[in-house]
A and B are shown apart, each in its own frame.
Chain A
Amino acid sequence: MNIRHRLEELKAEMSPAKKELEFTLKRIRKSPLSIVGAVIVLFYVVIAVFAPIIAPPVTSDPYRIWRDGFSLIPKPLGTPVEDPIARKAGWTVHYFGTAEGQFDIFYGCIWGTITAFRVGILVVGISLLIGLLLGCVAGYYGGIVDELLMRFTDIVLAFPDLILAMALVIALPAVALIDIGLFWAVVLCLILPIIAGRTLKLRGSSNLMLGIICLLTFLAIDIWILGSPPIWIITMKLSQLDKVLIALALVYWPSYARVIRSEFLRLKQEDYVEAAKAVGCSDFRIITRQILPNAIYPIIIMASLNMGSIVLTAAALSFLGIGSPIGYADWGQMISFARNWIWAGFQNPWQYWYTFTIPGLFIFTFVLGWNLLGDAFRDILDPTLRRK
């Protein structure tokens, strides 16, 4: 008659899929590292979303860090703000001090979060899409298609990210570009419903609803980040950072392609694929509804881990001077122009520690959060390691 008993009975009646989800959540809760990772990522998401409130923009381009004067010497934490426009916008004090050229470090770090997310999401999104496409085709059809695609992948893999990024950055002029938003929409609306549908056992029409909701959510985010509704084909002037993003995406897709391909090769032998073929399913249907939902797990792990490493690579590029221009809200960029202030003579050597330590900490914790999350995903989603 107990509530407990009733709950137990209800639980016993749950479908196996829901049980799996609950099992997964229980394991997430048990692993402290994954919670730490999730919390960190959530924390940065909050910062990114509320950036305009936390650090109100002073100039018309919020991605340029505003400057309080032109003096070369960095000012310490808590220095009062002098620029009248900034004060009108709500600034009273430089929370994290200023860097060389009086760029406000606090502003740079907060808006740098948005840049970091933008870099990570765009690069992961594009490379994932390309990799998925090529990997699916190569893995499913096999034979000569597979050979050719894999040779091509090997060749592209032969390039370390930094080098190709450098080459492309120099080479690319302003290029006509299809709005990246379109890629994102496709990715989200195809893949998310599949995963959700599988784990929650949704029916066909519910899947469609989910896809439409995703599309609408995506549109909203797009307007917010890019500042304009997505147009199918626009000629966009590629900033330095964009070139870097494209270069990175073009370099990172092979690893996704390889992983998807090997998963497909493995899963294609499974009995349920044979059954689907015997029933007469089209290839597309088999790929998307039978194999892909099973093959997606390593990709999720890779994507979350890549979020971290891509931000690191982008920061490295900025540090070398090939990434964002000076004054852009980007963590790597901020460290690069702190180079001269690391050691300020024997009198008070750590005087300007905040110029490089604080942005560095942001990078480190951001990447750490994604790495922890990715590792947690790997532990949880890897079916062979799931049950002890």
Chain B
Amino acid sequence: MAEDVLEIENLRLNFYTYEGVVEALDRVKLNLKKGETLGVVGETGCGKSVTGLSTLAIVLPPGRIEEGKVILKTEQNPIDLLSKNEEFLRRIRGRVISMIFQDPKSALNPVYTVGDQIIEVYFHHKRKELIQRVIEQLDASITGRKASFLSKHYKKIYQKMLKNPNAFSLRIQSKIPILRRYKRLLVNEAKKEAINILRAMKIPDPERVVDMYPHELSGGMAQRVVIAMALACSPKILVADEPTTNLDVTVQLQILQLIKELKEEFSSSVIYVTHDMGVIAEMCDRVAVMYAGNVVEIGEVFEIFKNPLHPYTKGLLESIPRLGVPFKSIKGTVPSLIDPPKGCRFHNRCDYAMDICTKEKPNMVEVEKQHFVQCFLYK
């Protein structure tokens, strides 16, 4: 059995808004195994997107993490990301864990080209390698016959960049218009990488696309660009936050297939956040069902579809429209999280609610092998 690469323990997160304190996440517990695709499914507002962001230790104001741990197990020793400082986290984000977003058009900055934004990732995480490569190229052209003054001059600059990146002379040079032409070499190297990754995304004519602006691309292409940015540094974990929700159905299929292939190619583990059970069935090995800030059930996809344990999961599966079957929905609405119901948060919509459900919160119990449920119906 594969070991975990990521574990979320007891994550509790609140949003402090004008209208009150929104208790968005309440003791969320998740684990991601190596090489698998974990689905996180739930309705709008259940906290799945926030959970996704939390794996990167990104908390958007006015939110605040009250307690819990996000344990990364890809390195030598397990690291609790929430306890690390910004400096450390920045080296993890984009390189070890990456994220792709729901609306590709708004996830990309409209004033920079697609290439610029991908290059940004390379500059941030793979700068040294790129500099090395430039130096090698310069060496090659020097020992060849084109030993121009410029090449030697540039080589000196790049060597300095390796040794002492924050040198004062470098900082000044990079601001002055003509002198900063040396940067071009680095940008070109990075651009080559960007073109490669775009090609891996099955984007046709990547040399042309790399110089285009986000608004010039279709939704599907833009989403591929976002995926390219995320996979640029071959991260071990990819978090996908409803990446196909805003796309046409046909494009959706393409993107899903792309993600599947890329997962194999880059050997990543994927957390796939969605509200669409069909996508879960298609893409995921295991699935976590979330409701009102709790993970209520987690287990293998096939198992959960065949034998849903939690009343909410049952309701979800039953409410998928089918021809010939009368439409069923779960009664009631999602409660406001500003003053959430005491005890189990689902109890006021649950057909099996018991007295204890209104008073205490159930713990996660393992009912079958690798099939966990958070409900008082099970012991």
The CA of A27 and the CA of B61, in the complex, are separated in Å by 19
Chain B 2-42 near chain A by CB (<8 Å), digits 1 or 0: 00000000000000011000000000000000000000000
4 more A-B residue pairs beyond the given contacts A387-B17, A388-B18, with a C-beta to C-beta distance below 8 A? A23-B18, A387-B18, A388-B61, A388-B62
Name the distance in Å between B61's Cβ and chain A's nearest Cβ.
8
4 A-B pairs closest in CB distance: A388-B62, A387-B18, A388-B18, A388-B17
Minimum Cβ distance to chain B for residue A14 (Å):
14
Q: When chains A and B are docked, how far (Å) is the Cα of A23 from the Cα of B20?
A: 13
Complexed CA–CA distance, A387 and B17 (Å)? 8
User: In the complex, what distance in Å separates the CA atom of A27 from the CA atom of B17?
Assistant: 13
Query: For A387, what are the chain B residues with a Cβ–Cβ distance below 8 Å?
Result: 17-18
Residues of A within 8 A of B18 (CB): 23, 27, 387-388
- For window 82-108 of B, CB contacts with A under 8 Å fall at none
Q: List, in ascending order, chain A residues with CB within 8 A of B17's CB.
A: 387-388
Q: What count of chain B residues pass the 8 Å CB interface test?
A: 4
Q: Mark B35-66, 1 if CB is under 8 A from A, else 0.
A: 00000000000000000000000000110000
**In the bound complex, how far is the Cα of B18 from the Cα of A27, in angstroms?**
9
Report the separation of the CA atoms of residues A27 and B62 in the bound assembly, to the nearest whole angstrom. Answer: 17
Name the A residues within 8 Å of B61 (CB-CB): 388
Which residues of chain A (14-38) have a CB below 8 Å from chain B? Answer: 23, 27
Across-interface contacts of A388 in B (CB, < 8 A): 17-18, 61-62
Which residue of chain B has the shortest Cβ distance to A386 in the bound complex? Answer: B18
User: In residues 353-388 of chain A, which contact B (Cβ within 8 Å)?
Assistant: 387-388
B60 to chain A, nearest CB (A): 11
CA distance A306 to B156 in the complex (A): 59
Closest A residue to B61 using CB positions: A388
A92–B235 CA distance with the chains assembled, in angstroms: 86
Residue of A nearest to B62 (CB): A388
- Contact bitstring A255-288, B, C-beta under 8 A = 1, else 0: 0000000000000000000000000000000000
CA distance A388 to B19 in the complex (A): 10
Q: Which of B180-227 contact A (CB under 8 A)?
A: none
- B62 CB → nearest A CB, Å: 6
Q: Closest chain B residue to A27 by CB distance?
A: B18
Interface centre among B17, B18, B61, B62 (most CB of A within 10 A): B18
Say how far B333's CB is from chain A's closest CB, in angstroms: 15
- Cα distance A387–B166 when bound, in Å? 41
Q: CA–CA, A23 to B19, complex, Å?
A: 9
A388 to B16, CA, bound (A): 9
State how many angstroms separate the Cβ of A16 from the closest Cβ of chain B.
13
> Please, which residues of chain B bring their CB within 8 A of the CB of A23?
18
Q: How far apart sit A23 and B61, CA to CA, in the bound complex (Å)? A: 21
**B354–chain A nearest beta-carbon distance, Å:** 28
Q: Which of B312-347 contact A (CB under 8 A)?
A: none
Please indicate the chain A residues that have their CB under 8 angstroms from the CB of B62 in the complex.
388
- Chain B nearest CB from A215 CB (Å) reads 38
| Bound Cα distance A201, B61 (Å) | 34
Q: Distance (Å) between the CB of A168 and the closest chain B CB? A: 42
Residue of A nearest to B16 (CB): A388
Q: Across the interface, name the chain B residue whose C-beta is closest to A26.
A: B18
8 A-B residue pairings within 8 Å (CB atoms) = A23-B18, A27-B18, A387-B17, A387-B18, A388-B17, A388-B18, A388-B61, A388-B62
1/0 per residue B282-325: CB within 8 Å of A?
00000000000000000000000000000000000000000000
Name the interface residues of A114-143: CB closer than 8 Å to any CB of B: none
Determine the chain B residues whose CB is within 8 A of the CB of A27 once the complex forms.
18
Docked complex Cα distance between A388 and B17 (Å): 7
Chain A: minimal CB distance from B41 (Å):
27
Q: Which residue of B lies closest to A30 (CB)?
A: B18
A248 to chain B, nearest CB (A): 38
Report how far A387 CA is from B20 CA in the complex, Å.
12
A279 to B209, CA, bound (A): 44
> Shortest distance in angstroms between A13's beta carbon and chain B's nearest beta carbon?
16
| CA distance in complex: A388, B61 (Å) | 8
